[in-house]
Structure 1
Amino acid sequence: MKTIQTYIVDSFTDEPFKGNPAGVCLLNQEIGDEEMLLIAKELGFSETVFVTQLSGQNRFSIRFFSPKMEIPLCGHATLAASKVLFNKDSDMLNIHFVNIQNLDLVIQRDGEHIIMEFPIYETEHQIAPNELLEALGITEINNSEYNKETNILLLEIDDCNVLSKLNPDFEKLKKSHDSINGVLVTALSEKPDYDFESRYFWPWSGTNEDPVTGGTHTFLAKYWGQRLHKKKMNSFQCSERTGFMEVELIDELKMTIKGKAQILLKGELEI
């Protein structure tokens, strides 16, 4: 029998039961991909992250699984794993995570905040099928873009109040497109403390809706940065649980995501 130290962590929030919950599994021995997927299905969160220490100071392998498949990069689960490791070692100030794409994700502790260094991805124009818009309950969009690294379609709409009230037909949504991982809907924010808002729907590859999604900001930050002529912005995800983060464009290739996380539960998984 294998015993795996396992946590539940709420990411991108300063209070429990909000933000995006993730499972965090700290591995002291290798387990197979199928076992990781089964654990992710059992925990049932949008993502469960598996962390293994590598040689070298503060270096770890990190892998992300939804209940349906492996995900190359996930912001909220990276934040959750970082919170656990920083909590275990109060002297640790930085972490290097290496994901399945061999990206070196540099993480820093900043008081109660955690700052994660992520790549910047581009988008290109792609027409959204009418069936997809109908399934989302959207009648008009400002723009439709696609990011190839995450395989996500981005839709910009005018009104953040419409965004918060979207109630998609997820069965119709799944049938409306056969080659994307998810669809991100975004709008300018009317809240005084935020620049833009978003919601992320991904019944093709995960749960119906991801409560707060750091990974989409790898292209969303540049998208809004160009429109708002800003390098540093505050993002609000207006899902039912809600969540927030600060994003900053460092250069053409690199950005940071800054947020908080709350550890809810620590236990042992026996398999």
Structure 2
Amino acid sequence: MKTFIVDAFTADPFCGNPAGVCFIDDAFEPGKFLPIARELGFSETAFLQATDSPDTWLIRFFSPVMEIPLCGHATIAAAAVLFEEAGLPALSFVNTDGLRIPIRRLGNEIGMDFPVYKTVSAHVPESLLEALGLETVRSVRFNAETKILMLEIEKTEVLGKLQPDYSALRASHNSINGVLVTAASNEDLYDYHCRYFWPWSGTNEDPATGGIQTFLAPFWAKKLGKRELRSFQSSWRTGTMALSVQEDSVLIRSNARIVLAGETRI
């Protein structure tokens, strides 16, 4: 099985968010998705299957814990592989929910059209804040599609220094997939910073996350009164992306770097 390792949301190797990309066919046994994802050990692995149309591919995402309906960094990673392998100028992925994700080359970048999701006001348990090392938050929102709790805080300096107690964090909530912490940027290059912690459904911290932009980018677009945004994910590997927010879609633009190509023998 052809297998690639791709660093997503970065132009540099060993930065951004690494993802596995595997090519499967009709003979692939469904019971092997999770073992392969665990073996690769990344926050997500994308599994690609060809269709009758050369520019349309089925895609499934697996963390080492569970299947994920939509994943940004594994999507851009898979697109980078297909653009290099097949030389396509544009393509579409279709996920398990039947969502079509249009992808296209934009100069040296890759552009992905993701849906816009809404958030609602929510409550955050005190124990969750303690596990994160936060004393106060500016606002708390929840997105139902991803089951992610979003916390807005005051300063990016606090965000960058967070060192969660992951055991306590996981025990603090039993009905979410992850918690996103974000703050307005105090530098001209970016509009907002973020970090995403998800010990409930994946790894402890996701280095660079595209799926959260389905609701995070619209949140900041409304708050800042602008549709063109730049996001910085302040994990230890870091990640950057440009975003264009429309009424029903978010265009995510960034890079991806293939760092390994090989074969998985199963």
TM category (shorter chain) comes to over 0.9
Spell out the pairing of 1:82-93 with structure 2 (5 A cutoff): 82-90=79-87, 92-93=88-89
Amino acid at match of 2:109: H
> Which of the residues 135, 146, 149 maps onto 2:145?
149
Tell me the secondary structure at the aligned position of residue 218 of structure 1. Answer: helix
Cα deviation, residue 27, structure 1: 1.5
Counterpart of 2:15 in structure 1 is: 18
Cα deviation, residue 228, structure 1: 0.4
Tell me the secondary structure at the aligned position of residue 270 of structure 1. Answer: coil
Tell me the secondary structure at the aligned position of residue 128 of structure 2. Answer: helix
Tell me the secondary structure at the aligned position of residue 114 of structure 1. Answer: strand
Which string of whole-angstrom CA distances, capped at 9 and with x for unpartnered residues, describes residues 95-134 of structure 1? 1100011000000011220000000000000010000000
Matched, 1:104 2:100: yes
Which string of whole-angstrom CA distances, capped at 9 and with x for unpartnered residues, describes residues 1-22 of structure 1? xxx1000000000100000000
> Which of the residues 2, 7, 26 maps onto 1:5?
2
Matched residue pairs, number? 266
Matched, 1:233 2:212: no
Distance in 2 between residues matched to 1:224 and 1:230, nearest whole Å? 8
Counterpart of 1:219 in structure 2 is: 215
Amino acid at match of 1:239: S
Amino acid at match of 1:67: P
Cα deviation, residue 58, structure 1: 0.4
Matched, 1:48 2:40: no
Matched, 1:132 2:128: yes
Cα deviation, residue 221, structure 1: 0.6
Counterpart of 1:270 in structure 2 is: 265
Distance in 1 between residues matched to 2:253 and 2:121, nearest whole Å? 28
Distance in 2 between residues matched to 1:30 and 1:81, nearest whole Å? 20
Matched, 1:68 2:65: yes
Distance in 1 between residues matched to 2:253 and 2:29, nearest whole Å? 32
Q: Mean alpha-carbon deviation: is it higher for 62-71 or for 109-118?
A: 109-118
Distance in 1 between residues matched to 2:231 and 2:30, nearest whole Å? 33
Tell me the secondary structure at the aligned position of residue 159 of structure 2. Answer: helix
What is the TM-score of this pair, normalised by structure 1?
0.97
CA contact (8 A) 2:213 2:250 kept: no
Amino acid at match of 1:223: F
Distance in 2 between residues matched to 1:207 and 1:104, nearest whole Å? 26
Counterpart of 2:74 in structure 1 is: 77
Distance in 2 between residues matched to 1:191 and 1:52, nearest whole Å? 42
Distance in 2 between residues matched to 1:78 and 1:30, nearest whole Å? 23
CA contact (8 A) 2:20 2:74 kept: yes
In the TM superposition, structure 1's runs of 4+ consecutive aligned residues that sit over 6 Å from their partners are none
Matched, 1:253 2:230: no
What is the TM-score of this pair, normalised by structure 2?
0.99
Cα deviation, residue 32, structure 1: 3.0
Distance in 2 between residues matched to 1:30 and 1:194, nearest whole Å? 45
Q: Mean alpha-carbon deviation: is it higher for 137-146 or for 189-198?
A: 189-198
CA contact (8 A) 2:227 2:245 kept: yes
Gapped runs of 5+ residues in structure 2? none
Gapped runs of 5+ residues in structure 1? none
Cα deviation, residue 28, structure 1: 3.4
Counterpart of 1:190 in structure 2 is: 186
Which string of whole-angstrom CA distances, capped at 9 and with x for unpartnered residues, describes residues 182-228 of structure 1? 00000001222100000000000000000000000000010000000
Cα RMSD of the aligned pairs, angstroms, is 0.8
Distance in 2 between residues matched to 1:167 and 1:212, nearest whole Å? 17
